[in-house]
Amino acid sequence: MKQFGLQFGMRLKKARVRKNITRKVLAHKVGVHTNTYGLYERGKRVPDAIIIKMVCDILQVNYIWLFTGQGPIDMPNNSAGIETGLLENIIVKVEEHLSNSSMILSPAKKAEIISILYDDALEKMAANDSYIFVLEKSLIRFLNLLAERQG
Report pLDDT for 22: 95
User: Which residues are CB-contacts of 41 (< 8 A; sequence separation ≥ 6)?
Assistant: 9, 10, 12, 13, 16, 23
Report pLDDT for 11: 93
Domains along the sequence of the chain with CATH: 2-68 (1.10.260.40), 78-150 (no CATH)
Question: Using one digit for the tens of pLDDT, what is the confidence trace for 56-97?
Answer: 888 988 877 887 787 788 876 643 456 667 777 787 778 787
User: For the stretch 85-120, what's the b/e string if a residue is b when 16 or more beta carbons lie within 10 angstroms of its beta carbon?
Assistant: ebbebbbebbeeebeeeeeebebbbbbbbbbbbbeb
Residue spans of the chain under pLDDT 70: 1-2, 76-84, 108, 125, 127-135, 147, 149-151
pTM value is 0.60
CA nearest neighbour of 81 among 30, 14, 12, 89: 89
Q: Percentages helix, strand, coil for the chain, rounded to the nearest 5?
A: 75, 0, 25
Q: What angle do CA 75, 69, 82 make, to 5 degrees?
A: 45
Report pLDDT for 80: 45
What average pLDDT does the chain have?
79
